[in-house]
């Protein structure tokens, strides 16, 4: 080895203080965002079996949960709505009295310093579980219609912003969704509402616990026709550039851990704020392995999140956020 024995790299690792000083990527609660599932009712707190430690909760319980999380250092939440009834058009998503809209208003009143981000999609609200409105293809099969979905996504975003959301986050992976939402927000006098786009969202098996939580698994087919193929890397930069051109203030890669190379590639291609979503399957896999005694939960969580930060993420969406405050 060139330089040995004069150059000994282990010298920089022997002292714990020096190791920390040279540690590079560091986690902070200021960059963590925690998902929260809100539904109708009073006093509802339904455990999500495949997502340990998280619940389907009513608005009143969600406010108290967010207050508790804020006390642990969580400064931002990402809201997902679970309606009472689902239909083919996902009409509940735009309801000004829907659980997301109600919770946004309560949070901005009771916890004004908490950053409130809302997911903008149709999969939680449609009875077929897809992220957009359906149409009949040339061969007679049903498929998701891109362009006719844009108007609905824009209406959802406006309803969230009118309730007080700081950031809306379109996740449907419809081409043109950012432009449609930006135009509608601006025309509605909501130009200050930011957009965090799920820009690079892969069709992944790691979403299953989330689908349990929101009851949004597709009732036919899958989402490979609009979400990215996990074998494809080149389209990620094109997606990022397009969303930024359309008006996205922040962009996102999802999932995070299995796609560190994509996070790094997108980071190198743009200086826009970049979020990464450590999705439900990543979280639940660590939880399950820890429960079986196969690894240390805290160490695995901190290491995996640090890797996401090291790859280039500015913000991290993670179900570990409430625990992380004590750990770091």
Q: What is the pLDDT of residue 137?
A: 87
Q: Check if 108 is active-site.
A: no
| Mean of all residue pLDDT scores within the chain | 96
- Pairwise CA distance, residues 144 & 221, whole Å: 11
Q: Full-prediction pTM beyond 0.85?
A: yes
Give the contacts of 245 (CB within 8 A, at least 6 positions apart). Answer: none
90-124 pLDDT, tens digit each: 999 999 999 999 999 999 999 999 999 999 999 99
In a domain, 294, yes or no: yes
Of the residues 86, 254, 287, 309, only one is catalytic, namely 254
In a domain, 274, yes or no: yes
> CA-CA distances (angstroms) from residue 322 to 274, 275, 289?
21, 18, 19
129-185 pLDDT, tens digit each: 999 999 998 888 899 999 999 999 999 999 999 999 999 999 999 999 999 999 999
State both tokens at 108.
């901005």
Give the contacts of 88 (CB within 8 A, at least 6 positions apart). Answer: 126, 127, 128, 133, 134
Q: Check if 287 is active-site.
A: no
- Pairwise CA distance, residues 96 & 105, whole Å: 10
Query: CATH code at 292?
Result: 3.20.20.70
- Pairwise CA distance, residues 86 & 76, whole Å: 28
In a domain, 44, yes or no: yes
Confidence of residue 218 (pLDDT cuts 50, 70, 90): very high
The pairing of beta strand 134-136 with beta strand 142-144:
antiparallel
State both tokens at 14.
């022997």
Range of the domain at 65: 26-327
State both tokens at 169.
């986050």
Q: Would the pLDDT of 1 be above 90?
A: no
State both tokens at 121.
């999609």
In a domain, 2, yes or no: no
Q: What is the pLDDT of residue 114?
A: 98
Q: What is the pLDDT of residue 169?
A: 98
Q: Would the pLDDT of 270 be above 80?
A: yes
State both tokens at 72.
């642990």
In a domain, 217, yes or no: yes
Q: Looking at the 3D structure of the chain, how many domains does it have?
A: 1
283-325 pLDDT, tens digit each: 999 999 999 999 999 999 999 999 999 999 999 999 999 999 8
Of the residues 201, 219, 287, 309, only one is catalytic, namely 201
Q: Is 149 helix (H, G, I), strand (E, B) or coil?
A: helix
In a domain, 76, yes or no: yes
* Residues facing 118 on adjacent strands: 79, 168
267: nearest Cα among 304, 308, 305:
308
Element (H, E) at 268: helix 260-269
In a domain, 123, yes or no: yes
In a domain, 15, yes or no: no
Mark residue 276 as left, alpha or beta (left: phi above 0; alpha: psi -120 to 50; beta: remaining). Answer: beta
35: nearest Cα among 20, 21, 54:
54
> CA-CA distances (angstroms) from residue 290 to 26, 49, 301?
23, 16, 10
74-99 pLDDT, tens digit each: 999 999 999 999 999 999 999 999 99
Confidence of residue 216 (pLDDT cuts 50, 70, 90): very high
């Amino acid at each position: 080895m060139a330089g040995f024995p004069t150059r000994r790299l282990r010298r920089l690792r022997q002292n714990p203080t020096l190791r920390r000083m040279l540690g590079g990527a560091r986690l902070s609660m200021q960059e963590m965002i925690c998902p929260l599932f809100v539904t109708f009712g009073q006093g509802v707190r339904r455990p999500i079996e495949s997502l340990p430690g998280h619940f389907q909760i009513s608005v009143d319980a969600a406010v108290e949960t967010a207050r508790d999380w804020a006390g642990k250092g969580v400064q931002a939440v990402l809201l997902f709505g679970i309606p009472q009834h689902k239909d083919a058009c996902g009409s509940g998503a735009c309801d000004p009295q829907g659980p997301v809209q109600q919770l946004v208003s309560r949070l901005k009143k009771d916890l004004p310093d908490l950053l409130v981000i809302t997911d903008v999609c149709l999969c939680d609200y449609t009875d077929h579980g897809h992220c957009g409105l359906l149409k009949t293809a040339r061969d007679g099969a049903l498929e998701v219609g891109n362009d006719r979905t844009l108007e609905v996504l824009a209406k959802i975003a406006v309803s969230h912003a009118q309730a007080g959301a700081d950031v809306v986050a379109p996740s449907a992976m419809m081409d043109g969704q950012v432009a449609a939402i930006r135009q509608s927000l601006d025309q509605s006098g909501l130009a200050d509402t930011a957009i965090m786009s799920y820009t690079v969202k892969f069709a992944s098996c790691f979403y299953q616990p989330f689908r349990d939580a929101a009851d949004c698994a597709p009732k036919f087919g899958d989402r490979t026709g609009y979400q990215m193929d996990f074998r494809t890397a080149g389209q990620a930069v094109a997606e990022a550039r397009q969303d930024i051109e359309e008006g996205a203030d922040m962009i996102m890669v999802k999932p995070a851990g299995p796609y560190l190379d994509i996070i790094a590639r997108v980071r190198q291609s743009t200086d826009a704020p970049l979020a990464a979503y450590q999705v439900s399957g990543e979280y639940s896999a660590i939880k399950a392995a820890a429960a079986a005694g196969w690894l240390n939960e805290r160490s695995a969580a901190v290491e995996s999140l640090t890797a996401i930060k090291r790859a280039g993420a500015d913000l991290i969406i993670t179900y570990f956020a409430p625990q992380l405050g004590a750990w770091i």
